[in-house]
Amino acid sequence: MNKWICTTCGTQYAESETPPAHCLICEDERQYIGLGGQTWTTLEKLKVGGYRNAFYEHEPNLLGVETVPEFAIGQHAKLLRTPYGNILWDCISYLDDVTVQLIQGMGGIHAIAISHPHFYSSMVEWAERFEAPIYLHDHDRQWVMQPSDRIQFWKGSQVELNPEVTLVHVGGHFAGSSVLLWKAGANGKGALLTGDTVSVSADRRFVSFMYSFPNRIPLSATIIKSVRNRLQPLFFDRLYGTQANTVIESDAKAGVLRSADRYLEALGRSEER
Ligand SMILES: [Zn+2]
Ligand SMILES: [Zn+2]
């Protein structure tokens, strides 16, 4: 029996003798099947395949974690260190003993929270190794490919993980797409960790909101307005996207609102705002 991992999206599936017939994440119109067709691997194969996890510092108490060489869609995770325990925001497919030892040395993982299904990756593997709960928004329940007692589906508009960290439901890219608000981030001005619920543009001044990034499918004006309304009340100065360099260092909230307005104008629906 193996826990097969899709090589295109990095999602680990529940144990089975043979690889699953389909990857439901990749067959969804927000993703794609790789050029070589549907292929699968396992964590064991990745371990002997030359992969490793690298760490870097975004700012004090916020580390990025990425797999080298890049695997799947190049997911990054973030390890957020708070006085109430460490939180892993988003997840990656690769996990080895070195990664576990390094993170255990920093106090382990108190909770895992994930923005949306493209970052579910090997979340159950991580949760089991660190004995941590996984917080997923209930609206994305159907995209869990490996059920686990460690998954806690949360409902409603937000949930507080600890006094410094709140998950906020935003929607858009996925019905359950969420962001993490870290009040102590950016020297106390607040930081928003977004996955690709809010995607940082190449100029690092604007962001975008898309139904599908790889297939270039936009969101409707109605949904953009809803996303804008959910982000507007939050206090944050800095915004972290998915990658090491997708960061709006300061005045990020104004950038987010400006971006939503620009999107609505581009759709020619700004009068409905
Ligand atoms: Zn896949
Ligand atoms: Zn995505």
Q: Please, what's the largest Cα pairwise distance for the chain?
A: 57
Percent share of the chain, pLDDT over 70: 98
**Residues with CB in 5 Å of ion ligand 2:** 118, 196
CB 102 within 8 A of CB 55: yes
> What's the average model confidence in pLDDT over 185-209?
95
Counting Cβ atoms within 10 Å, is residue 85 exposed (0-12), middle (13-18) or buried (19+)?
A: middle
Q: Which residues have CB atoms below 5 A from the ion given as ligand 1?
A: 6, 8-9, 23, 25-26
Cα–Cα distances (Å) from 248 to 90, 154, 217, 239, 240, in that order, read: 18, 28, 24, 5, 7
Domain that holds residue 171: 5-272
Dump pLDDT digits (tens) for 61-117.
Answer: 999 999 999 999 999 999 999 999 999 999 999 999 999 999 999 999 999 999 999
**Token pair recorded at residue 154:** 């949360």
104: domain CATH number? 3.60.15.10
pLDDT tens-digit readout, 26-68: 999 999 999 999 999 999 999 999 999 999 999 999 999 999 9
Of residues 95, 87, 89, 55, the one with CA closest to residue 71: 95
Q: How many domains does the chain have?
A: 1
Which listed ligand is nearest to 30 at the C-alpha?
2
Tell me the ligand closest to 176's alpha carbon.
2
Look at residue 247 and tell me whether its pLDDT is greater than 70: yes
pTM of this prediction?
A: 0.96
CA of 73 to the centre of ligand 1 (A): 10
Which 8-state DSSP code applies to residue 119? G
* pLDDT score recorded for residue 154: 98
State the ligand closest to the CA atom of 8. Answer: 1
